[in-house]
């Protein structure tokens, strides 16, 4: 059993020499684990786990370089170089969202006024269509791109106006049965097809428009407004949930909170 004694002696000597580095690695691992626990239920948690794994590889790389393990160090160095490129590709949506947030800073007051005017036009159009019981389906893009939805519709790239929205959804017109996509305070496309929700818990009496609204909100973070053709009632779908029977004030409050929150604090209301 002399080999076991020698192994134990060498292990104790190693720990005695590198105990501080070991404590550092344990602390870093504990921090990463705590962050993963907080993000476990969050959107994109899978990518965060991947990032944590790469961070762990970086820690190991530092350790093997310090210990002089040249071959393992060479292998990990190549792995980290490839991972740097992979991270840019994987986190491309998050990087784009960060740039979008920077572009939506409250110092850009003219953008705030444009959004407020766009919101007023949307509310006016929805109110008019609700009174006349004209079916309508509008998706407001937030961070997730709706480019694929837009490609399947008729491109418009027009300024938002109550009259134009009401015209698009006027009964028996060519674009009446599709949905409208609103991006960057403009009507990007009309006559778009939204994915239908397959949620079995939705009430059976819901029509195709409402299921399309919920379906799009399940796959993206878009806010989708629906006007029922049968009753004229207004609903809003977001994150797979449907808010029923909203008044115009409820709709305005919901859209402000969900789509135009930053504008609310940057631009004063004008009656």
Q: Phi-psi region for residue 174, left (φ > 0), alpha (ψ -120 to 50) or beta? A: alpha
Q: Tell me whether residue 146 is in a domain.
A: yes
Instruction: List the one residue out of 228, 256, 230 whose CA is nearest residue 244.
Output: 228
Burial annotation 155-168 (CB, 10 A radius, 16+ → b, else e): ebeeebbbebbbeb
* Same domain? 120 vs 242: yes
Helix H or strand E encompassing 97: helix 92-103
* Same domain? 133 vs 175: yes
State the pLDDT at residue 107. Answer: 41
* Same domain? 117 vs 214: yes
3-class DSSP state for residue 242? strand
DSSP, res 143: S
Q: Tell me whether residue 101 is in a domain.
A: no
Last residue of a domain, one of 62, 90, 118: 90
130, 234 contact by CB (below 8 A): yes
162 beta partners = none
3-class DSSP state for residue 8? helix
State the pLDDT at residue 42. Answer: 44
* Same domain? 86 vs 151: no
Query: Rounded to whole angstroms, how far apart are CA atoms 62 and 83?
Result: 16
* Same domain? 172 vs 260: yes
User: How many H-runs (helices) and E-runs (strands) does the chain carry?
Assistant: 10, 7
**Residue 193 φ then ψ, to 5°:** -100, 125
Q: Tell me whether residue 100 is in a domain.
A: no
Pairing of strands 234-238, 241-246: antiparallel
Domain extent, residue 234, equals 110-266
Model confidence pTM above 0.85 = no
Residues in the chain where the model's pLDDT stays below 50: 41-44, 104-112, 262-271
Query: Rounded to whole angstroms, how far apart are CA atoms 55 and 27?
Result: 13
Query: Rounded to whole angstroms, how far apart are CA atoms 170 and 113?
Result: 28
* Same domain? 80 vs 117: no
Tokens of 73: 């160090």
Handedness of CA 85, 87, 89, 92 (dihedral sign): negative
* Same domain? 115 vs 35: no
Query: Rounded to whole angstroms, how far apart are CA atoms 248 and 119?
Result: 12
Number of folded domains in the chain?
Answer: 2
Tokens of 234: 């207004």
* Same domain? 124 vs 249: yes
* Same domain? 117 vs 157: yes
To the nearest 10°, report the CA torsion of 45, 47, 48, 54: 150
**Residue 69 φ then ψ, to 5°:** -85, 85
Question: What digits encode the pLDDT tens for the residues 113-149?
Answer: 556 778 889 999 999 999 999 999 999 998 888 999 9
Last residue of a domain, one of 37, 57, 90: 90
State the pLDDT at residue 204. Answer: 83
Q: Tell me whether residue 102 is in a domain.
A: no
3-class DSSP state for residue 159? strand
Question: What digits encode the pLDDT tens for the residues 53-90?
Answer: 666 666 665 665 666 656 555 666 666 666 667 666 66
Instruction: List the one residue out of 57, 66, 102 whose CA is nearest residue 84.
Output: 57
Tokens of 215: 């379906």
Q: How far is CA 21 from the centre of its chain?
A: 39
Last residue of a domain, one of 42, 59, 90: 90
State the pLDDT at residue 270. Answer: 34
């Amino acid at each position: 059993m002399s080999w076991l004694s020698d192994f134990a002696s060498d292990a104790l000597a190693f720990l005695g020499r590198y105990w501080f580095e070991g404590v550092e690695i344990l602390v870093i691992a504990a921090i990463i684990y705590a962050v993963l626990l907080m993000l476990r239920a969050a959107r994109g948690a899978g990518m965060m786990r991947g990032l944590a794994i790469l961070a762990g590889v970086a820690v190991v790389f530092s350790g093997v370089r310090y210990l002089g393990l040249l071959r393992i160090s060479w292998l990990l160095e190549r792995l980290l170089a490839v991972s740097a490129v992979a991270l840019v590709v994987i986190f491309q949506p998050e990087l784009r969202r960060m740039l979008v947030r920077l572009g939506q800073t409250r110092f850009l007051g003219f953008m705030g006024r444009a959004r407020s005017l766009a919101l007023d036009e949307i509310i006016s159009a929805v109110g008019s269509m609700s009174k006349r019981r004209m079916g309508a389906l509008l998706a407001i893009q937030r961070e997730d791109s709706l480019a694929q939805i837009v490609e399947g519709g008729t491109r418009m790239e027009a300024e938002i106006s109550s009259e134009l929205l009401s015209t698009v959804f006027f009964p028996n017109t060519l674009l009446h049965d599709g949905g409208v996509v609103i991006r960057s305070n403009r009507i990007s496309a009309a006559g778009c097809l939204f994915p239908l929700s397959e949620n079995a818990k939705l009430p059976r009496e819901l029509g195709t428009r409402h299921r399309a609204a919920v379906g799009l909100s399940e796959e993206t973070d878009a806010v989708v407004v629906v006007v029922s053709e049968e009753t004229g009632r207004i609903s809003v779908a977001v994150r797979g949930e449907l808010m029923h029977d909203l008044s115009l004030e409820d709709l305005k409050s919901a859209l402000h909170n969900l789509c135009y929150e930053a504008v609310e604090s940057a631009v004063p209301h004008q009656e």
